Amino acid sequence: MRKKTRRKNYLVKKGLQLRYVGVIFFTTLFVTLVMMFYMAWNVDQITELTTTGGFSIEQGLAMWKNTFLLKLGLVLLGLLALNVVVSILASHKVAGVIFRLERIINSVSEGKIPPEIRIRHGDELGDLVDRFNVMLLNLNNKVANNRTIAEKLTETIETLDNKLQQGPVSKEELCIHITILKQLRNELQT
């Protein structure tokens, strides 16, 4: 059974996390302020109906109640739509990078190693992409080095094969080719 560990630090990427806390906070603050002003405006409407319209408080409330729920629903739908748009725009800065990383990982798993990943200015996870690009550079260098070694191996094997087909090969010559092959094997292992 895996031992449960408790988080000691909830802000592991402070800049990233605090930006999204800010987006959520200010969106919530905006919605709250709009609702407060909407409610204050409605109280003013009731007051106006009862003071200047010649209606009693009960009549003013009855008239206000008929339109209040419709207006409230429209305001809430508008705020919800705004919240959805802000959420999509904010999350795209992370989701777009993750989507791109997933595509690159799939490409690497198929043996196609791109030279680097490029992201748009302002996208999040730039540090991760930078480290991923260093990994891709190292992987490309390793693959290029392995190809060079494979070419040397092929060349050494073909040379040895040609010599063997021409006739007997001296022990010294065979030892030279074996040493070259061992060196190439060691290069591949590092």
CA-based nearest residue to 114, from 99, 130, 103: 103
* pTM assigned to the model: 0.60
Instruction: Tell me the per-residue pLDDT of 52-66, one tens digit each, with 9 for 90 and over.
Output: 877 787 877 777 777
Distance CA 133, CA 102 (A): 14
Q: Is residue 105 packed enough to be buried (19+ CB in 10 Å), middle (13-18) or exposed (0-12)? A: exposed
Q: Mind listing the pLDDT tens digit of every residue in the chain (190 residues)?
A: 666 667 677 777 778 788 888 888 888 898 889 888 888 888 887 788 778 877 787 877 777 777 777 888 888 898 889 888 888 887 888 888 888 899 999 999 998 988 888 888 877 888 888 999 999 999 999 999 989 998 998 998 898 888 888 988 888 988 898 898 888 888 888 7
